[in-house]
Copies of this chain bind each other. A is one copy, B any other.
């Protein structure tokens, strides 16, 4: 369902597109919120067309197919967005590793956390650059709040990793 909604959202935000386009749009936008590759996107678009959520245009060069959202598709996306009861259970590998972290010795966990803090910091810098560069056009309005959320997320993870490393170091010495 989530993949469907992400695709309907992208089609609504930036207009009709091919599976190939959508795969790239995924990479450059929703990817921080939801990941999907082309091998998932192509079959899903076919199912969505069968279910009347999108229509397929005539084949263009290189067999290109262009998908457009239908009224039904719009309605379904709207309904999904407004309905609150369907949160997926959490499955966050970073958090799982955090959970298991106390199993390691400080000599192992501290450098690990510092390294991870670095990864989060780099990701944060990327997102901040993206935010600064992006003009406030119609299409770019979509995902604006998500970008802000992504930035907050990275900042939080970086701080958590750094401060947890400090705590462990302090406990090991004290």
The interface of chain A, by Cβ under 8 A from chain B, is: 2, 5-6, 9, 12-13, 29-35, 77-78, 81-82, 84, 86-104, 108, 112, 115-116, 141-146, 148-150, 152-153, 156, 159-160, 164
Contact = CB atoms under 8 A, between A and B. Distances in A.
Contacts of A142: 99-100, 102-103
The winner among A6, A96, A152, A153 for most chain B CB atoms within 10 A is A96
A2 B100 contact: no
A81 B113 CA distance: 11
Q: State the majority secondary structure of interface residues on A.
A: helix
Most buried by B among A97, A98, A141, A148: A97
Contact of A34 (B29, B96, B102): B96
A153 B156 contact: yes
B156 A92 contact: no
Contacts of A149: 95, 98, 160
A131 to B, nearest CB: 14
A97 B115 contact: no
Contacts of A96: 2, 5-6, 30, 33-34, 146
Given A103-B142, A145-B101, A33 B87 contact: no
Contact of A100 (B9, B91, B100, B116): B9
9 contacts: A30-B99, A33-B99, A84-B112, A87-B93, A99-B142, A101-B146, A102-B144, A152-B160, A156-B156
